[in-house]
Chain A
């Protein structure tokens, strides 16, 4: 059910990837995304896939956990695939009645599907291996220099921390209210789309009320403990680069070079 969503989840394990500085992982993810969008040939994708497998092995996260993350967006991937297959013009290789499939379409479709899947696996590795606190810490320090031009780095990071922190709480609450309404005979599963949307009211109203109440209480609790924004605030566990982080930076920079080379040479 709702608990099956793995995107954005943290998977605690003892691996070199978990120990890396979150700033390195953020940078690596950025480089990885750019590389995927630049890559064009099948061989390049093969190398990237190989590399992703390697990183998953390093992270000690079970492979089926990654597959679970793709499942919810499988629909999007299939949709993109079909759109590309049927609506790209080019040399037809197969045609029935008025539908024809072009060679270019098939290529494009495979490329898009591979891109999407690699994108999701790669980026979910970031959240799976970094605890939300470390991740937002990393974001805050990475965006730190922008504070000078008025960018609210700390506030954004704090908002993210709070949002992430309350995802499980809200899911639990949803589950609870859902059950309470089901016990009163509510039906969330059958009927057409309008009936289903309407059946969500008994779930959403209490959920919103509880969420606003909680936000209010949290704001009070934060103020009671003297919170007044990021200015002059120190950290209990400041982020410090270690040797492995510098090595990782080096490897991350090599990655797009390697992929580029693969594309040029072969």
Chain B
């Protein structure tokens, strides 16, 4: 079970004066259980790419195949696909509409034909996954919640569909530091517990480096880098040339190296960095 994209091209306003090519001949394979960090500056085609993966957009050229379901120009009836591919948009709290949190989270499962007796369990599980107490929240109106809580309810609404692939478009944008940290922890937990494939778009390299295992960078509708996390932040000038940065820890080691210090590994986690720095200090003294 995996995602396979071959020669995917996509246009907006095709055939008019405003035509824009959003994706240019993108090919990509993602295996079940991977945690992908999708980076690239605004307008590089990240959001367009993930919308193709659950069939909201259809390829103008090329094919997208997800868990054996092929999406091409004329594909119809993609409900089967939407069951297995969850997509959390930017600022998902704007999609809340029901009177109660329970009803809103149940909207997705109901649409894909989950039997009534199973819905309550799913809502419970989903709320649990985003760390909200079922008893306390289920009957509240989603519009009375705080921003961070709304975001979690919206994400729970997608999780309740129990997808095997979950894509999130800047899930932490606009959240306060604590809510951000909680959300990332929850994502890691989801990834480990359910062997879910996760694709996360983010502009924060610090965040990405904490959670993702593989980094894909896009520019002008093309994939310009696709590397495992421990090699992704090596080529700093290249990343900067496409309008991206590197995580703060990688930045620290990069600068230290520029000053003549020698470190063998590329680091981006805090613990490893601490160990490496301490080792360096001891060697010096």
Given A206-B95, A206-B96: A180 touches B111 (CB 8 Å cut-off): no
Chain B residue nearest to A173 in the complex (CB): B94
Interface size class of B (residues with CB under 8 A): 20 to 34
Contact B95 A180 (CB under 8 A): yes
* In the complex, B161 has a CB within 8 A of chain A: yes
Residue B86 interfacial (CB < 8 Å): yes
A206 with B161: in contact, given A180-B89, A187-B111 (CB under 8 Å)?
A: no
The answer to whether A184 and B111 have CB atoms under 8 Å apart is yes
Query: When chains A and B are docked, how far (Å) is the Cα of A181 from the Cα of B111?
Result: 10
Bound CA–CA A107/B260 (angstroms)? 92
B111/A185 in contact, CB under 8 A: yes
A residues contacting B by CB (< 8 A) are 3, 173, 176-177, 179-187, 201-202, 205-206, 209-210
By the criterion CB–CB under 8 Å, are A186 and B89 in contact?
no
Known: A183-B87, A185-B82, A202-B107. 5 other contacts (CB 8 A): A176-B94, A183-B56, A184-B158, A205-B97, A209-B94
Closest B residue to A190 using CB positions: B77
B contact set with A: CB distance below 8 Å:
13, 51, 54, 56, 79, 82-83, 86-87, 89, 92, 94-97, 107-108, 110-112, 143, 157-158, 161
Number of A-B contacts defined by CB within 8 Å: 58
Is the beta-carbon distance between B83 and A181 smaller than 8 angstroms?
no
Residue with the highest number of chain A CB atoms closer than 10 Å, among B83, B89, B111, B158? B111
Beyond A202-B107, A209-B143, whether A185 also contacts B112 by CB under 8 A is yes
CA distance A59 to B157 in the complex (A): 50
A183 adjacent to B86 (CB under 8 Å): yes
Query: Across the interface, which residues of B come within 8 angstroms of A3, CB to CB?
Result: 13
- Are the CB atoms of A184 and B97 closer together than 8 Å? no
Residues from chain B with a CB closer than 8 A to the CB of A186 are 107, 111
Decide if the interface of chain A is mainly helix, strand, loop or mixed: helix
Q: A177-B95, A206-B94 are in contact. Are A183 and B111 (CB under 8 A)?
A: no
B224–chain A nearest beta-carbon distance, Å: 26
B79 to A, closest residue via Cβ: A185
- Closest residue on chain A to residue B93 by CB atoms: A206
A181 to chain B, nearest CB (A): 6
Contact of B97 among A179, A185, A206 (CB under 8 A): A206
A129 CB to nearest B CB, Å:
16
| Chain B residue with the shortest CB-CB distance to A183 | B87
Cβ distance A12 to chain B, nearest Cβ, rounded Å: 10
Q: B158 contacts A185, CB within 8 Å?
A: no
- Least CB separation from A12: chain B residue: B17
Nearest-CB residue, chain A, relative to B158 = A184
CA gap between A187 and B79 in the complex, in Å: 9
Scoring B54, B89, B95, B108 by chain A CB atoms within 10 A of each residue's CB, the highest score goes to: B95
Indicate if the CB atoms of B96 and A183 lie closer than 8 Å.
no
Q: Evaluate contact between A185 and B83: CB separation under 8 angstroms.
A: yes
Q: Which of B13, B89, B110, B143 contacts A183 (CB 8 A)?
A: B89
Bound-state CA distance A182–B158 (Å) is: 11
* Known contacts A179-B56, A185-B112, A210 near B94 by CB under 8 Å: yes
12 A/B residue pairs, CB under 8 Å, sorted by A: A176-B94, A177-B95, A183-B54, A184-B157, A184-B158, A184-B161, A185-B79, A185-B107, A185-B110, A187-B79, A187-B111, A206-B96
Give the distance in Å from the alpha carbon of A3 to the alpha carbon of B108 in the complex: 27
Do A181 and B56 touch (CB < 8 A)? no
